[in-house]
Amino acid sequence: MSVPLPTNPDIVIVGAGSSGLSAAKKLEELGTSYLVIEASDHIGGRAYTKSDIFGQPVDHGCSWISGSDDNIFSDLGRKNNFTLVDHSNPKIEMFERDGAKSTQANINEYNKSESKIKEILRDTGRQGIDIPASKVIPNVPYNECFQNWEGALNYAVDINQISTAEYWHLKDTQPSFIVKEGLGNLVATLNNNFPIALNTNVFEIDLSGKGVKVVTSKGSIVAKACICTVSVGVLKSEKIKFTPKLCNKVQRAIDDIQMGLLVKIPLLFDGIRLGFAENSFVQYDIAKENIGSECYFLAWPTGHDYVVGFIGGQFAWDLSKLGEEEIVEYALSKLEILSGDKIRKHFLKGFATDWASNPFTKGSYSAVKPGCFGAREVLSEPIAEKLIFAGEATAGNIAGLVNGAYESGKLAATRITNIVKPKIKSP
Ligand SMILES: Cc1cc2nc3c(=O)[nH]c(=O)nc-3n(C[C@H](O)[C@H](O)[C@H](O)COP(=O)(O)OP(=O)(O)OC[C@H]3O[C@@H](n4cnc5c(N)ncnc54)[C@H](O)[C@@H]3O)c2cc1C
């Protein structure tokens, strides 16, 4: 699949994730020549399905097609005969603080609290108030459980790092699908024999001369313009040098967008179902001091024989430093509290996704810092008529999502083509 570096394409696309592949697709349609450069050995980036560990497909990155009635991947999935499983109203397997299984009345109470808190958060943002979400959480039953889900496990940052303005701005993620064969595998179908140079690391994007010089581990390429789709985690790490330096406004936008961390901990069992329904969320009520540091689960997604534990935010960054074995043991011990020690007998193997240490992502997905709403828009503007950032962090009200990445790549390809190949006006 990997191709040698050509000389002088119109556009260099850095990154072959959802955004880079969609930019390539759009440039094909527009007849603009391009090359995609990808540092890792595979396409898809954070959309990544692997089957070799469990013998069943597991999405290491994205797995939900969110807002599925207006999401390119719903159509693409149907077209390519993927199995899309509706996950809009999943069953909740809930436990109380004393370990007892919650009654339906408790679950109804949780749902009521969730709706109320969401309404307050959105209302705050709608009024133009951009403060940490934690500041407006009412003291309703199960609010701690909600904060754990919505902060660490949904936004991938702790609840005090979520901007109320962004919370209001982002589109609803329901209805949704999960993909039996893997969303990463579905995203990979975007690649229609595109010219992609794999295992090729970009070190520098130099705008100082005519066009753009992209310096890579396999040599330099000169193009008219560059679409850079790497994550904000990578941009923050300064592994790619920009010449001249990015202006203060753009650099500030990068500083104002955090790279969150969500770690998945898939645990394979021997076919036992532990009393949890397929595709259900397993969660438990927690004390205030544990918000952000609890592991909730998705049970037997689309009928596979594994549950997926989730940890996120600062707790996930900290736990990741201890290594995969510790993380798997932590998740197992949490599941054991809910299901009893029989789980050990039926447990086959588990692993933790490596988004914390992955040098090509440096985290999972982005979240705007409280008080910094507007940073995504700044980051998505073309620079010097020859560089444009794309990717999930630039995706407006569908930021953080794989379809947001797709739409941002498509838009960047159109905008940059309009700049480098303006239509000749007829006299
Ligand atoms: C654990 C997890 C769960 C998620 N869950 C969901 C979900 O359920 N639904 C959803 O919609 N989204 C979800 N997401 C988010 C979604 O996966 C991302 O928003 C999307 O895949 C990002 O695509 P992208 O093209 O912007 O970036 P990427 O996929 O990161 O693509 C950028 C590419 O650039 C490459 N690169 C980096 N540095 C260099 C360099 N120096 N030189 C060359 N190439 C480089 C990378 O290897 C990568 O392939 C999740 C993400 C994670 C990590």
Cα of 45 from ligand 1 centre, angstroms: 5
Q: How many domains does the chain have?
A: 2
Q: What is the pLDDT of residue 421?
A: 81
For residue 381, pLDDT over 90 is answered with yes
8 vs 336, more confident: 336
User: Given this model, what pLDDT does residue 423 score?
Assistant: 65
pLDDT at position 5 over 90: no
Question: DSSP string covering 361-407, please?
Answer: TSSSEEEEPTT-TTHHHHHTS-BTTTEEE-SGGG-GGGTTSHHHHHH
Which of 318, 350, 382 is the last residue in one of the domains?
Answer: 350
If you average pLDDT over residues 174-198, what whole number do you get?
97
Residue 422's Cβ-count burial label (10 Å; 0-12, 13-18, 19+) is exposed
- pLDDT digit string, tens, across residues 41-100: 999 999 999 999 999 999 999 999 999 999 999 999 999 999 999 999 999 999 999 999
Structure tokens at 301: 């997604």
Q: Give CA–CA dist 164/373, Å, rounded.
A: 9
Q: Mean pLDDT, to the nearest integer, of 381-399? A: 97
Q: Which domain holds residue 103?
A: 89-173+262-350
Q: What tokens does 55 get? A: 């013998």
Question: End of a domain among 331, 350, 369?
Answer: 350
CA-to-CA distance for 397 and 169, rounded, in angstroms? 6
CB of 361 within 6 A of ligand 1: the answer is yes
Q: Given a cut of 90, is residue 122 above it in pLDDT?
A: yes
Cα 155 from Cα 161, distance rounded (Å): 9
Q: Is residue 393 part of a domain?
A: yes
pLDDT value of position 142: 98
> What span, in angstroms and rounded, lies between the C-alpha atoms of 177 and 63?
8
Does residue 20 line the site of ligand 1, with CB under 6 A? yes
Domain end among 350, 382, 398: 350
For residues 199 and 327, membership in a common domain is answered with no
Asked if residue 203 is part of any domain, the answer here is yes
Residue 150 lies in a domain: yes
Question: Three-state SS for 128?
Answer: coil
- Looking at residue 88, its pLDDT comes to 97
Within a domain: residue 6?
Answer: no
- 283, 412: one domain: no
Say which CATH number the domain at 379 has. 3.50.50.60
- Residues 249 and 374 reside in one and the same domain: yes
Is any atom of ligand 1 closer than 6 Å to the C-beta of 284? no
Are residues 244 and 226 part of one domain? yes
The response to whether residue 402 sits with its C-beta less than 6 Å from ligand 1 reads yes
The answer to whether residues 333 and 386 belong to one domain is no
**Residue 81, domain member (yes or no):** no
- In 3-state terms, what secondary structure has residue 191? coil
**% of the chain residues with pLDDT over 70:** 97
pLDDT digits (tens, 9 = 90+) for 86-112: 999 999 999 999 999 999 999 999 999
The answer to whether residue 427 scores a pLDDT higher than 80 is: no
Q: 199 C-alpha vs ligand 1 centroid, how far in Å?
A: 16
Domain membership flag for residue 202: yes
Same domain assignment for residues 203 and 281: no
* Average pLDDT over all residues of the chain: 96
- Residue 233 CB less than 6 A away from ligand 1: no
Q: Predicted confidence band at 417 (pLDDT cuts at 50, 70, 90)?
A: very high
383 in the same domain as 404: yes
Residue 382 neighbours by CB under 8 Å, 6+ apart: 388, 415, 416, 419
Supply the pLDDT for residue 8: 83
Per residue in 216-256, pLDDT (tens digit) is 999 999 999 999 999 999 999 999 999 999 999 999 999 99
**Domain identity same for 141 and 218:** no
CATH number of the CATH domain containing 110: 3.90.660.10
Any domain includes 267: yes
Residues 305 and 158 in one domain: yes
pLDDT tens, residue by residue, 256-281:
999 999 999 999 999 999 999 999 99
Is the model's pLDDT at 424 over the cut of 70? no
Contacts of 385 (CB under 8 A, 6+ apart): 225, 419
pLDDT at 2: 60
CB environment 105-114: b (16+ within 10 A), e (fewer): ebbebbeebb
Q: Longest C-alpha distance within the chain, in Å?
A: 80
102 and 162 fall within a common domain:
yes
Stretch 373-388: mean pLDDT: 97
Which pLDDT does position 136 carry in this prediction? 98
Query: Ligand 1 centre and the CA of 401: distance in Å?
Result: 9
Asked whether residue 74 is domain-assigned, the answer is no
The answer to whether residues 161 and 99 belong to one domain is yes
The answer to whether residues 215 and 364 belong to one domain is yes
Residue 425 has pLDDT above 70, yes or no: no
